[in-house]
Amino acid sequence: MASNLQTIEFIVDQSLLGSRLSYRRMFGEYALYLNTKVVALVCNNRLFLKPTDAGRALLGTPTEAPPYPGAKNYFVLEEALEDPHLLRQALEVTEAALPFPKPKPLAKKKAAAAKKLSST
């Protein structure tokens, strides 16, 4: 079952993070981005926070489950959805603990064109 946009909008509103928290639809589900980092997934209208030591320290012993078949376990945030302060903290400590995304490699055509330009 795909997640619906109303769930995403509710989570974004509850987080009190404004435009810092964005989302992108992926395969009928959603990825949540805080700044440039994917911090959570919303699958089947449930919020799955990427697991980090900082998140575990904040949440204690969170429920863990895979967001989709074959995935590793994420923290399932249910009670935090009713506590905007906790939700915001969970998203922020996760973002702080995650590395920056790796830059995407240039496409082969762009790389070849750049090489050709530099040799002339």
Find tokens 């109303």 and name the residue.
6
- Mean pLDDT value across residues 109-117: 65
> How many domains are contained in the chain?
1
Print the domain residue range for 68: 5-119
What is the pLDDT, as a whole number, of residue 42? 97
CA 98, 99, 104, 105 torsion-angle sign: negative
> Count of CB atoms within 10 A of residue 54's CB?
17
pTM of the predicted structure, to 2 decimals: 0.83
- Whether 23 and 8 have beta carbons less than 8 Å apart is answered as yes
pLDDT digits (tens, 9 = 90+) for 3-53: 999 999 999 999 999 999 999 998 889 999 999 899 999 999 999 999 999
CATH number for the domain that contains residue 62: 3.30.1460
Could you tell me whether strands 37-43 and 64-65 are parallel, antiparallel, or unpaired per DSSP bridges? unpaired
